[in-house]
Amino acid sequence: MIEVEDLVVRLPGFTLEVPHLEVGEGEYLVVLGPSGVGKTLLLHAIAGLVAPARGRIVIGRRDVTREPPERRGVALVPQDYALFPHMSVLDNIAYGLRVRGIPRWEAYGRARAYAEALGIAHLLHRRPGSLSGGEKQRVALARALAVEPRILLLDEPLASLDPQARARGRGLLREIHESRGVTVVHVSHNIVDAATLATRVAYMNGGRLECTCTTRGFLESPYAEPYLEELRPLAGLLGGR
Amino acid sequence: MAAAARGLVERGLLLFSALASFFVLLLVLPLVALYAGVKPGVLGAMLSSPEMREEILGGFRVALLASLIAVGILLALGVPTAYVLARYDFPGKRVVEGVIDIPLALPHVVAGVMLLEAYGSWGLAGPLLRRVGLVIEDHLAGVVAVMAFVSAPLLVDTVKVGFQSIPESLSAVARTLGASRLRAFRDIELPLAARSIAAGSLLAWARGLSEVGALLVVAYYPKTVNILILEYLSIYGLPYAVTLAAVYATLTLGIFAALRVVTRS
């Protein structure tokens, strides 16, 4: 589904290097690593929001390295959810459909269906500023899913939630992945996300992709060592999926 | 101890409040004095003289028309400039920002001389402008050029801050949802910057209306109200200048207040 080959992205004072990364169709890849190692930049490169200095990005057998974000078939949910503050929840969810030229009544109908599926139908006429963190997360997911993307790019979607909302959020992400079969690349610095959601894990450090392996393989690797303390209370969940 | 500290803070606040009140009084006093100085007899004399009435109405027309055209030009050129400065880093960006702020740092008469040397009939770009029929000396185009030049930094800087305050993740998401760069700008960034654009336009418009120094150098004619106030001061004396200034202040403050209400709502 996604193939990243010999990718180099240069920003002032930072270089991202991804020698090779493959994400299969329907996979749930969690990209782990400490803060500031380039995880978000990797997502932005896949989304087409930054231009690589070198390398190739293939999505669904099509080389999209030079394609703009709107032609890549990906949907991004950033860490701050980036809900459009001047639009209602309904307009937020319908935005991608309206941009595609779908008539308003049809776009709204489909947006309502996604809102119901994610349990936010009662929020449709609210503005994002009045929503809780968990509600914002659901709206952002509904908006991303409404355009039926081939790939869902999630940037720390659970980071700003309290522990209960985070657990519910994980359940929601798992349900979305299982029911819709969408390919997910989920950036996180939380090992629990990897242990409970991932079908595979990628580990990044110092601007470089260090390894990709199965969840169990990762948990048994030396890369997981710094996280073992966090995982002890969740021993039953180890191995993820 | 805590009570003592609280008392100190409260005394400090009291001092600040007293200073703020004094400052506001200093700012309001000239306006009050202006209206207090209006002599009804002088206003009557001005309105009953057809020549003077025509001259004053012409001055208002020129000032309002030129300042609105100047704001229109600044919106067309300044908003894209502000966007580029807010969103992109490029070599020499600081220099460009400095160049845009030049009119803020210049004495107004110097700005007028510069405009004359650049865009006047015998200035650097004069021959080119003459070829397309644009002459700035003593023409409406000159009044517009002066107003646009002196107020450009106010619009660009205000709008730039407005764009900078919009998280880039909003347009990034819009683009992954299928919007082109232009569509994301139109749907997301432009509406969110609307308040800053309105504020910048208001500031630029007010700055344009208040200009007189550069106008004296570039375009004494057609006379704006400011030029007339100066002229009346030297020809007819202070009461005439005060009366015309009070009428002008009422008009501009009225429009300014109305626009502020509209842009806030």
| pLDDT-wise least confident of A87-91, A128-132, A233-237, B246-250 | A233-237
* Euclidean distance between CA atoms A56 and B250, whole angstroms: 64
CATH number at residue B251: 1.10.3720.10
| pLDDT-wise least confident of A229-233, A234-238, B20-24, B168-172 | A234-238
Is A152 in a helix, a strand, or coil? strand
Q: What's the whole-model pTM score? A: 0.86
Whole-number pLDDT of residue B10: 79
Q: How far is CA B197 from the centre of its chain?
A: 13
User: By C-alpha distance, which of B213, B200, B23, B172 is closest to A140?
Assistant: B172
* Euclidean distance between CA atoms B262 and A85, whole angstroms: 20
Q: A143: which 2 tokens?
A: 């908006």
Structural domain that includes position B97: 38-161+190-264
Whole-number pLDDT of residue A234: 61
Classify residue B257: in a domain, yes or no. Answer: yes
- The residue of chain B nearest to residue A49, with distances taken between CA atoms, is B172
The pLDDT of residue A113 is above 50: yes
How many angstroms away from the CA of B200 is the closest CA of chain A? 20
A11 touches chain B (CB under 8 A): no
For residue B182, the chain A residues in CB contact (below 8 A) are none
Classify residue B29: in a domain, yes or no. Answer: no
Question: HSE on the CB side for B11, CA within 13 Å?
Answer: 6
Average pLDDT value for chain B: 92
* Euclidean distance between CA atoms A174 and A187, whole angstroms: 15
Residue of higher predicted confidence among A53 and A213? A53
Q: Which of B89, B173, B191 sits opposite A76 (nearest CB)?
A: B173
φ/ψ of residue A85, rounded to 5: -70, -20
- 């004396």: which residue's tokens? B237
Classify residue B86: in a domain, yes or no. Answer: yes
Classify residue B26: in a domain, yes or no. Answer: no
Phi-psi region of A7 (alpha: psi -120 to 50; beta: other; left: phi over 0): beta
User: By C-alpha distance, which of A33, A24, A13 is closest to A150?
Assistant: A24
Classify residue B233: in a domain, yes or no. Answer: yes
φ/ψ of residue A11, rounded to 5: -120, 160
Q: Which of A12, A72, A78 sits opposite B173 (nearest CB)?
A: A78
Residue-wise pLDDT for B44-92, tens only, equals: 898 899 999 999 999 999 999 999 999 999 999 999 999 999 999 999 9
For residue B173, the chain A residues in CB contact (below 8 A) are 76-78, 82, 143
* Helix (H) / strand (E) containing A199: none
A205 contacts: CB under 8 Å, gap ≥ 6: A33, A34, A37
What value of ipTM does the predicted structure carry? 0.89
DSSP secondary structure letter of residue B76: H
Classify residue B166: in a domain, yes or no. Answer: no
Is A88 in a helix, a strand, or coil? coil
Classify residue B123: in a domain, yes or no. Answer: yes
For residue B89, the chain A residues in CB contact (below 8 A) are 12
Q: Work out the percent of chain A whose per-residue pLDDT is above 90.
A: 63
**Which of B88, B177, B183 would you mutate first to test chain A, the one with the most A CBs within 10 A?**
B177
Which residues make beta-bridge pairs with B172?
A: none
Q: Give B14-62 as a 3 state SS string.
A: HHHHHHHHHHHHHHHHHHHHHHHCCCHHHHHHHHHCHHHHHHHHHHHHH
Q: How many domains does chain B have?
A: 1
Contact A68 B175 (CB under 8 A): yes
- The residue of chain B nearest to residue A91, with distances taken between CA atoms, is B187
Cβ pair A4, A20 in contact under 8 A: yes
Classify residue B154: in a domain, yes or no. Answer: yes
Is B166 in a helix, a strand, or coil? coil
Helices (H), chain B: 2-36, 40-48, 50-87, 93-105, 108-119, 126-131, 140-164, 168-176, 181-184, 190-210, 213-218, 225-235, 238-264
